Structure 1
């Protein structure tokens, strides 16, 4: 009698936990799909959090204390200088915080993600203006 009760509890518990995991997976997949669709629908992610970093552009600029990119252009030298200084200052070996270090890294990645497409487009336009000049090496 006791073994029958134990098996019923195990089977019911397994079924409940399995359904809970399946439902959680469905919700996570739907949320991820929705975020990707929103990212594709909006040309710029300025107001929303980036799917990869989970951080808004404003938050990233506040963390690194830099101006937000204007028309897809930012002073990347200043961003990198601030990133390096803050990242090194928060080194856990020097008594800093790993959490803050990771936030600083994500902030830099978010700003780069915002600026990179515009920089690539500008490089392509410059190459089109100049014309394509391949480097030719002659064998001697």
Structure 2
């Protein structure tokens, strides 16, 4: 009699588990289709950018309270100064918010990512302007 109960419980549990996996798969497919449709329509707030946690340059500038880079130029010292002040202010050990602190870090990273290619281009132009000067190392 006990084996009949165990088999019934196993079969019922398997059916419930199977149905939940099927429902989760259908939901994941629907979410994926919705994301593709939003990305196709050019809606960045609902597309891949929001799902990966990336923020826009405008949002990053608002978080750090700095002006967006105009013409590819931004005051990195101001960005770093605002970052340090806001990061220290929101320290969880001092009663701040870890969430806000992480948003501040992501905002700094976003601005640095935007400024990276621009900085490289300025460095290359300066190198071309002054001429190529290879670094010389002396052998010992």
TM-score tier by shorter-chain length is: 0.7 to 0.9
TM-score (norm 1): 0.72
The correspondence for 2:6, drawn from 3, 26, 30, is 3
Aligned twin of 2:81:
81
Aligned twin of 1:90:
90
Give aligned pairs, total. 132
Shift of 1:66: 0.4
Aligned twin of 1:57:
57
Aligned twin of 2:18:
15
Q: What is the RMSD computed on CA atoms of the aligned residues?
A: 3.3
Separation in structure 1 between the aligned mates of residue 83 and residue 127 of structure 2, nearest angstrom: 30
Shift of 1:14: 2.5
Matches within 5 A, 1:38-49: 49=49
**Structure 2 CA distance for partners of 1:10 and 1:57, relative to 1, 3 Å:** same
SS in 1 for 2:62: helix
Separation in structure 2 between the aligned mates of residue 127 and residue 35 of structure 1, nearest angstrom: 43
Greater C-alpha Rg: 2
CA deviation vs aligned residue, 1:13-54 (integer Å, no higher than 9, x gap): 22223334545665677788899999xxxxxxxxx9577642
Separation in structure 1 between the aligned mates of residue 102 and residue 31 of structure 2, nearest angstrom: 24
5+ residue gaps, structure 1: 39-47
Separation in structure 1 between the aligned mates of residue 37 and residue 115 of structure 2, nearest angstrom: 24
Aligned twin of 1:44:
none
**Structure 2 CA distance for partners of 1:29 and 1:137, relative to 1, 3 Å:** farther
Contact 1:90 1:101 in 2 (8 A): yes
